[in-house]
Structure 1
Amino acid sequence: MSTVALRCEGLVHVYREADTDVAALRGIDLVVQEAERIALLGPSGSGKSTLMAIVAGILRPSAGRISVFGVDIERARERDLLRIRRDLLGLMLQGAATNLLLHEDAEANLAWALRGKPRADATLGRRILRSNGLGRDLRPVSALIPSEQQIVALAVSMAARPRLLIADEPTSQLDDASRDHLLDLFVDTAAAEGTAVLLVTHDEDVARRMQRMIHLRDGRIGEEASDEGRFAVIGTDGSVQLPTALRESWPAGALVDVDEVAAGEIRLRLRGGEGER
């Protein structure tokens, strides 16, 4: 099986809204290596949740190709998608009610997550619960505080030892201390298991705990950041998005001179403006 956890090539998704076609994704190219941890950032409507749903096999892309560990998602039959979600993916969606059986305790939630997986065991999930004082907690999940619920959600999503974990805003309802504790547990568990991570967040402090940060804007990847720096990304149509800090002073539709000043170096000059960038 491929060591590339996720590969997206020219991924497009269009949906209908009020008799109008709306492009949620506009040609996404993305590669996530095995055991690599990636954060997806962007404002509401940038395409983050759509991309996550396509990776999980919940939505079918309108165009382009996507594979998880070499298995084509866009061509897979429904039974194949079920097998992919069972054997390869872990899902940690937003909100406890989406991830968990609220009327059951943590241990029962682990058992539910592992149903239909005869070779799976609950060792990893129980270890996560025990290390956070929830191993013998008989309270229903609905009685737990939000930080405890998210620990149970992590234990459930990692219980079957997925090769790719998809997490949607796992810290959005937590205070800073609880957020940092969950992130420590999240990163340590994924690193120890060699699990690739695709994490959706609005919080750059959360995103910095991943190895790469991918910034989406208007359905396209505009920037990528890692320990090597922060870079704009050239789109398939040759476009480059301006950094957010420049967008107000360089408005859409403005005329820009583009000159190559040296090999591998260009100069952008706003027509009618005083400065150069």
Structure 2
Amino acid sequence: MTGTQQGAAVRTVGVVHVYRVAGTDVAALRGVDLAVAPGERVALLGPSGSGKSTLLSVVAGLRRPSAGSVLVDGRDIARYTEAQLYGYRSESLGLMMQGAVSNLLPYASPRENVAFVGGRGRSRGRDPVAEEALAAAGLADERRPVGVLGRADQQATALAVAMAGSPRLLLVDEPTSQLDDDARESLLDTLVQTTTAVGTTLLMVTHDEQVAHRMQRMVRMRDGRVGAEGQRHEQYAVIGADGSVQLPEELLASWPAGSTVSVQASSPDEISIRRRLPAEEAP
């Protein structure tokens, strides 16, 4: 396979998502600013409840943000009609969400599952990218129904289905959470190979650092915001639109919420932050 397209550019600006639980408003996203370049592979990391899966569903157009913009190639899908969202998901987007296996046809073979997507208009005839994904997983000639296959083969089939039609943007949520080490690496090999070959932009949610290291960039979320980003050996805190910076997680226990600090500018490119100790507080 060779690159045949440019992946989608994704940018979120001040994205907020609020939902109600037992009559109470809960903010899952608190002003997320994120930019993903065409063809880039980005991992979203963070603890449970940090907002990473919510953000993925907002970019997929499955949820509408309460505020902010979700720009895909400069077009704000948050303002799309339902018909426009359907066109966006069917023409430009590949989805491999949690529980993706449950969306496969259990009585059909891997190749028949891919063909079903083609029958709905995502691809026409034989799909080279999906076929390559199946071949990479050793499933090109698998005739057994997906329902009797192991978890790793089911996940590989779900990936092939998501890549049918060579989507410009692929959104993946915890693809390896139920796989052993060998199966995880095999799926990641296929994922990286197929998206790189056709230039697809990839945004993936994971809790696994080793999985995240296979991506080109890692973005860490906490409390509904982007806290840090970078590559494997370089992580940088991200300044929010309101000027806020999240502390490193290892300091949270000793610098709890409500702590007061002094902030001094050492130079235009450097600041120092010092926690105010209890003994320094006025009576």
Q: Same fold (TM over 0.5)?
A: yes
Among 37, 52, 55, the residue aligned to 1:51: 55
Q: 1:198 to 1:99 in 2, by over 3 A?
A: farther
Is 1:21 the counterpart of 2:25? The answer is yes
Per the alignment, residue 182 of structure 1 pairs with 187
Please tell me whether the aligned partners of residues 93 and 99 of structure 1 are also in contact (alpha carbons under 8 angstroms). no
The percentage of aligned residue pairs carrying the same residue is: 52
Runs of 5+ consecutive residues of structure 2 not aligned to the other structure:
none
Among 228, 234, 247, the residue aligned to 1:223: 228
Per the alignment, residue 202 of structure 1 pairs with 207
Runs of 5+ consecutive residues of structure 1 not aligned to the other structure:
none
Deviation at 1:227, TM superposition (A): 5.6
Per the alignment, residue 78 of structure 2 pairs with 74
Among 168, 175, 183, the residue aligned to 2:173: 168
User: One-letter code of the match for 2:257?
Assistant: A
User: One-letter code of the match for 2:187?
Assistant: L
Q: 1:2 to 1:126 in 2, by over 3 A?
A: closer
**Distance in 1 (alpha carbons) for counterparts of 2:154 and 2:214:** 21
Task: Give the stretch that moved more between structures: 53-62 or 103-112.
Answer: 103-112
Write out aligned runs for 1:51-200 (5 A).
Answer: 51-117=55-121, 120=124, 121-200=126-205
SS of equivalent to 2:156: helix
Deviation at 1:34, TM superposition (A): 0.6
- How many residue pairs end up in the alignment? 274
Q: 1:44 to 1:184 in 2, by over 3 A?
A: same
User: One-letter code of the match for 1:260?
Assistant: A
Deviation at 1:87, TM superposition (A): 1.1
User: One-letter code of the match for 2:215?
Assistant: M
Deviation at 1:75, TM superposition (A): 0.8
User: One-letter code of the match for 1:202?
Assistant: H
Please tell me whether the aligned partners of residues 101 and 155 of structure 2 are also in contact (alpha carbons under 8 angstroms). no
SS of equivalent to 2:9: strand
Among 230, 233, 242, the residue aligned to 2:238: 233
User: One-letter code of the match for 1:150?
Assistant: Q
**Distance in 2 (alpha carbons) for counterparts of 1:206 and 1:264:** 33
Q: What is the TM-score of this pair, normalised by structure 1?
A: 0.94
> Superposition RMSD on alpha carbons, in Å?
1.9
**Distance in 1 (alpha carbons) for counterparts of 2:231 and 2:50:** 20
Please tell me whether the aligned partners of residues 174 and 204 of structure 2 are also in contact (alpha carbons under 8 angstroms). yes
Q: What is the TM-score of this pair, normalised by structure 2?
A: 0.92
Please tell me whether the aligned partners of residues 43 and 217 of structure 1 are also in contact (alpha carbons under 8 angstroms). yes
**Distance in 1 (alpha carbons) for counterparts of 2:110 and 2:116:** 10
Deviation at 1:96, TM superposition (A): 4.3
